[in-house]
Amino acid sequence: MVVITLQRKKCIGCNYCVELAPDQFQMSKKDGKSVLLHSNDKKGFFTLKSHDELIFEASDNAAKACPVKIISVKQV
Ligand code: SF4
């Protein structure tokens, strides 16, 4: 299983994650911050759990590219 977490409040809206993992991230037109698609919000930490292992690589690249390091991607 792949677990992706986004600490959304700290997003600076650089768009890198959307470019690298467009199936998982989208920019919000409302506040200009990244949205982790199909995720659940728990006190500002948005989490997506997926059985699709194919999303790991792109999401991991997004996590590595994020300048404020608010994306975490784990394979569990
Ligand atoms: S890479 Fe990080 S800072 Fe940039 S839009 Fe995505 S979550 Fe926000």
Q: Are 21 and 60 in contact (CB under 8 A)?
A: no
Cα gap 17→35, rounded to integer Å:
10
pLDDT in tens, 44-53: 999 999 999 9
Q: Which domain holds residue 44?
A: 2-75
Q: What is the pLDDT of residue 22?
A: 98
Cα gap 66→24, rounded to integer Å:
14
Closest residue by CA, ligand 1 atom 8:
11
Compute, in angstroms, the gap from residue 16 CA to the centroid of ligand 1. Answer: 6
For residue 33, how far is the Cα from the chain centroid? 11
Closest residue by CA, ligand 1 atom 2:
66
pLDDT in tens, 15-70: 999 999 999 999 999 999 999 999 999 999 999 999 999 999 999 999 999 999 99
Ligand 1 atom showing the smallest separation from residue 18 Cα: 6
Compute, in angstroms, the gap from residue 76 CA to the centroid of ligand 1. Answer: 23
Domains: count for the chain: 1
Q: Residue 66's domain is classified under what CATH number?
A: 3.30.70.20
